[in-house]
Structure 1
């Protein structure tokens, strides 16, 4: 749930990127040079262990092709890729990139192969449209290939909604709470009439995040201009501040002991987050099994999380590597990855499989795919700048100051805008 650290917009660090470096690429710098396999870097949980074990023995349908995965810690993988590219040595043939970070490689896009040249367009219709479009750099090169997605929903406590006299079945809740303003109104009712006066959310940062992700614009536009002071960000800020003003937030950080206790004890009635949170919630509050339900997020779905796979320019055998991608991330194998690793598919054909339609007792027998499938299809195409993390960090910090330290929301807004503008101007954002 935490924001990922910004790793820099240039592979060469401050002042210089890699685009000016010479070198023929290919086998000379590949981490797999001199071996009988291609190298793949990933982090634990990002790819199917079973499929990787198969690929290490031999990729089905591609005679002689073996791919060996090397597990790198999630927080280290991007910096390790940057280091290897800067040194032009021990570069992986393929690497997984988190959705938050693909754009940070855009300034050095030529360090990655354009997958269109390998025939990517031939499989385009198998993948979610917005996910496919997010694989492209501003110049039109496709440097990512769709791995998993993070469609969002409103998680809510059916029993607490019922006890407060609110609609409590998924379809009824979706009709009653179509907007964030209606969401806040429901929070007032829960606070006034619910047993123990429960809070609507754990913290306001989560709402701020989801409202932003519902917008195709974020903090820096495609022309490299700061737009974090515009209405789409201001609305997310004002909604979050209003939740706090009406005392509907528990003011606790997700993943902490306080959060775990609040979720288990019914102090928090909703979560606004992605499909992957299902598994954390089950671990955090197992005794609440049967009490939770899923429905549409207020103001519509968005995507929060997911990953891509890239091919570096040092890839020894690009055609073979792309054949591996088509196999590993095919609809059939994305379905297997979902069953094994809970990686939500970016291949809509997978959603119709009976394996994705099993009733979940934790959600009272509800089938999560009935909510997350449509959400995945309808998520907007969102533009992320290489400087997105630099731009949004002051806003999340100032929101925390408002919630945890009591800072005035207007003053915090001004400080967030000013800090973001100042910081971004130093890296060339106008």
Structure 2
């Protein structure tokens, strides 16, 4: 086992300006054995998780039509917590990986720190010219100390609160986004609003979907979460992490959550249309997920407002990388450069909700509204959240730690575990896995 180096990746999530100067970051050649390079057909495999938006918007088919001889075979795993361990097994074996693989932002430091030899340096591919078009922190997070770039940025995850207008109306709460925001100056007020909702809520409906989702929203506003500036683990001593955990546990204990595990419990998916929860912490990428699960019947029922107090935050976002085992590196690089180009990023946001990570695309979507969400000004809500988000420090085990915290909070909701006990269990589990 390779010993992880104690380094952290600093993410300036508040940076919405400062376009990097375009420069040649390596040749456009590569060591791949692309059949398409010789004029023959090539099948590119793409493995992702969740909703990246490419299939939903029709980008794969469009790319095939623009590039005769290229076909794309696409597979997606709903839960990233299942996707990533399976990918690690395939990377270790050297077989079964796709030509293009998605990398969640909480995993990118692990890739850069512990797996650089298993991924392609994009400076040496046709994707080289795409490296410089992102907001200031996106590509540095995917760059090794010696300069290898292992992923192209897809989206970022600025935050809001998505809510069912019809359910809030039935409970006598404000439904206008600005009026609702005014009732939530902070997270304590958000829980107090939940108590008001619970007192008059429609039968079978909870205020929030899950304690784990609430926790992730709260920590998304922090600069320092699980790692300190010098790369040391601080998850168990960081008061911001414990405070977020306790706030989310209080929501679970108080009966404000639907006790549903995100992306795992079938009842969670069903809840978007059935109305088992009225609010959900909503990174921009959740917009597309809600549309997919709530369907046409949810149109006009859902809306979006800012986080409590109008604060900024970032939860999620991803990269596209090319494993070293790919036999089609050049063609895969051309595909990911096209998929992550500003024009495609803007289209994905307008149709699915994944917020862009390129400066040009961000500038083009600020006026976007979404008819499905009562014409909510999603461009402004998520642009403001991204601009107000703090600098974040990510480390190689962020994904592991986050999952441990979510599982501990689920035990508070579903088994009645005491918050202190659940916290100690999470800390112990993390130390057993991470050290």
Q: TM-score range by the shorter chain?
A: 0.7 to 0.9
Matching residue of 1:270 = 279
CA shift digits 1:245-299 (9 cap, x unpaired):
3332232345656446655565522111223333443433754543332111125
1:109-148 mapped onto 2 (5 Å cutoff): 109-115=116-122, 126-137=133-144, 141-148=148-155
For residues 77 and 198 of structure 1, the distance between their equivalents in structure 2, rounded to whole angstroms, comes to: 31
Q: Is the 8 A contact 1:43 1:73 kept in 2?
A: yes
Structure 1 residues 289 and 70, CA gap change in structure 2 (3 angstroms): closer
Structure 1 residues 192 and 58, CA gap change in structure 2 (3 angstroms): closer
1:226-375 mapped onto 2 (5 Å cutoff): 226-229=233-236, 230-254=238-262, 256=265, 258-259=267-268, 263-264=272-273, 266-282=275-291, 283-284=293-294, 287=297, 289-298=299-308, 300-312=311-323, 325-338=336-349, 343-351=354-362, 353=364, 357-360=368-371, 362-375=372-385
From 90, 99, 103, the counterpart of 2:105: 99
3-state SS, counterpart of residue 156 of structure 2: strand
Aligned Cα root-mean-square deviation (Å): 4.2
For residues 32 and 120 of structure 1, the distance between their equivalents in structure 2, rounded to whole angstroms, comes to: 16
TM-score, normalized by length of structure 2? Answer: 0.74
Q: Is the 8 A contact 2:253 2:413 kept in 1?
A: no
Matching residue of 1:21 = none
CA shift digits 1:319-376 (9 cap, x unpaired):
876565444322112234445665443234335658973541x323334323233334
Q: Structure 1 residues 189-198 or 117-126, which shifts more?
A: 117-126
Deviation at 1:307, TM superposition (A): 2.3
Structure 1 residues 243 and 281, CA gap change in structure 2 (3 angstroms): same
Matching residue of 2:9 = none
3-state SS, counterpart of residue 160 of structure 2: strand
From 392, 399, 404, the counterpart of 2:402: 392
Deviation at 1:47, TM superposition (A): 6.1
- Stretches of structure 2 lacking an aligned partner (at least 5 in a row): 5-28
User: For the pair shown, which has the larger CA radius of gyration, 1 or 2?
Assistant: 1
Deviation at 1:148, TM superposition (A): 2.6
3-state SS, counterpart of residue 181 of structure 1: helix
Asked if residue 184 in structure 1 is aligned to residue 191 in structure 2, the reply is yes
From 143, 162, 168, the counterpart of 1:155: 162
TM-score, normalized by length of structure 1? Answer: 0.74
Q: Is the 8 A contact 2:226 2:235 kept in 1?
A: yes
Asked if residue 171 in structure 1 is aligned to residue 178 in structure 2, the reply is yes
For residues 413 and 195 of structure 2, the distance between their equivalents in structure 1, rounded to whole angstroms, comes to: 18
Structure 1 residues 375 and 118, CA gap change in structure 2 (3 angstroms): farther
Q: How many residues matched?
A: 399
Q: Is the 8 A contact 1:220 1:385 kept in 2?
A: yes
For residues 80 and 243 of structure 1, the distance between their equivalents in structure 2, rounded to whole angstroms, comes to: 33
Structure 1 residues 165 and 129, CA gap change in structure 2 (3 angstroms): farther
From 199, 203, 208, the counterpart of 1:201: 208
- Stretches of structure 1 lacking an aligned partner (at least 5 in a row): 1-13, 18-24, 60-64, 426-430
3-state SS, counterpart of residue 96 of structure 1: strand
Asked if residue 42 in structure 1 is aligned to residue 33 in structure 2, the reply is no
Structure 1 residues 248 and 129, CA gap change in structure 2 (3 angstroms): same
Higher relative contact order (Cα pairs below 8 Å, separated by 6+ residues): 2
